[in-house]
């Protein structure tokens, strides 16, 4: 007879968790024994609506998302500090009115006296165009939840638009077109165009001065080359989109 001791690290789980442990012995003819481990994991803090907060929209326009951080026990706690990556800004307010609890000890908490807080997250001017991830970290007085991380997934569209965003090359279409435009704001100027592949050349045509341009991408190499994986880089006068990259892929 033997004894098997198994443990389950629940630090990265929430809710019902089920795992199995397979035990194999050297007993002749014995089959492996499968042990079931099950647990209902209750976290000290709930981050709602989820562990990842999504921010999608156009850079420069009003954009924010609210996250609720709540003690599952209903216990009141303080948020001492809020640290955010440069690409996002976060503010904390109690999710419900809080009775005054007297003069707080220094250093003064960011927010105090509630069991639930609303964290409002918005992108800053340093948020990159495209898709990126940012982190917000709360420091609290709640035991076993002194650090509460919030992940923010950003998907920002810039003022300079490219249609289509990717060019698919094939033998029957040696010339491909992409439109690059800016609907409003300062006039758009194309400062230069570069191709990562010398077999592709780009010709620029003005559709609407300062607003829209057509890019004709031509394959000038030998027939039957094979796979293509290239990039057309368009330099613009828009500071946040100084380099707009258009992937070119396919087979010739």
CATH of residue 202's domain is 2.60.40.10
Domain of 207, in residue numbers: 160-251
**Across-strand partners of 131?**
155
Boundary residue ending a domain (157, 173, 195): 157
| Secondary structure (3-state) at 181 | strand
Instruction: With respect to residue 21, please indicate whether it lies within any of the assigned structural domains.
Output: no
Same domain for 144 and 62? yes
| Domain co-membership, 62 together with 129 | yes
210 lies in a domain? yes
Residue 169 lies in a domain: yes
Question: What span, in angstroms and rounded, lies between the C-alpha atoms of 201 and 217?
Answer: 6
101 and 77, same domain (yes or no)? yes
| Whether residue 215 has pLDDT greater than 90 | yes
Percent of the chain at pLDDT above 70?
Answer: 89
State both tokens at 36: 């079931």
pLDDT of residue 133: 96
Domain for residue 94, yes or no?
yes
Q: Both 185 and 242 in a single domain?
A: yes
Q: How many domains does the chain have?
A: 2
Q: Is the model's pLDDT at 201 over the cut of 60?
A: yes
3 state DSSP class of 239:
helix
Domain annotation covers residue 58: yes
Q: What is the dihedral of CA 170, 172, 174, 179, to 10 degrees?
A: -80
Q: Are residues 132 and 198 in the same domain?
A: no
| pLDDT at residue number 214 | 98
Residue 57 has pLDDT above 60, yes or no: yes
The reply to whether 64 falls in a domain is yes
CA distance 159 to 150: 28
* Domain assignment of residue 226, yes or no: yes
pTM of the full structure: 0.67
Please tell me whether residues 185 and 148 are part of one structural domain. no
Average of pLDDT values for 229-249? 95
Q: What is the pLDDT of residues 101-143, one digit of tens each?
A: 455 455 678 999 999 999 999 999 899 988 899 999 999 999 9
The count of other CB atoms within 10 Å of the CB of residue 236 is 21
- pLDDT at residue 246 above 90? yes
Distance set, CA 186 to CA 10, 141, 207, 225 (Å)? 53, 48, 17, 41
CB atoms within 10 A of CB 2: 6
Residue 174 pLDDT greater than 90, yes or no: no
> Taking a C-beta distance cutoff of 8 angstroms, is the pair 37, 16 a contact?
no
Q: Is residue 30 part of a domain?
A: no
pLDDT score of 78 more than 70: yes
Average pLDDT, the chain: 88
63 shares its domain with 148: yes
Residue 108's pLDDT is what?
Answer: 79
Model pLDDT, residue 107: 64
More confidently predicted of 186 and 32: 186
């Amino acid at each position: 007879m033997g004894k098997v001791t198994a443990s389950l690290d629940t630090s990265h789980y929430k809710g019902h968790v089920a795992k199995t442990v397979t035990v194999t012995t050297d007993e002749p003819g014995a089959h492996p024994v499968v042990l079931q481990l099950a647990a209902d994991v209750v976290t000290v803090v709930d981050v709602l609506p989820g562990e990842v907060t999504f921010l999608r929209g156009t850079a420069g326009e009003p954009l924010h998302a609210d996250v609720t951080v709540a003690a599952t026990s209903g216990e009141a706690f303080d948020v001492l500090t809020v640290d955010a990556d440069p690409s996002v800004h976060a503010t904390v307010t109690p999710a419900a009115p809080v009775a005054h609890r007297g003069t707080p000890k220094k250093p003064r908490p960011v927010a105090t006296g509630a069991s639930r807080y609303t964290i409002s997250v918005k992108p800053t001017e340093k948020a990159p165009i495209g898709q990126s991830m940012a982190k917000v970290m709360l420091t609290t007085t709640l035991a076993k939840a002194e650090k509460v991380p919030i992940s923010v997934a950003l998907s920002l569209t810039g003022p300079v638009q490219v249609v289509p965003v990717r060019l698919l090359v094939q033998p029957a279409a040696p010339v491909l077109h992409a439109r690059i435009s800016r609907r409003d704001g300062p006039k758009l100027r194309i400062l230069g165009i570069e191709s990562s592949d010398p077999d592709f050349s780009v010709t620029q045509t003005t559709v609407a001065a300062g607003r829209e341009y057509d890019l004709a991408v031509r394959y000038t190499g030998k027939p039957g080359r094979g796979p293509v994986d290239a990039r057309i880089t368009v330099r613009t006068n828009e500071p946040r989109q100084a380099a707009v990259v258009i992937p070119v892929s396919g087979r010739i």
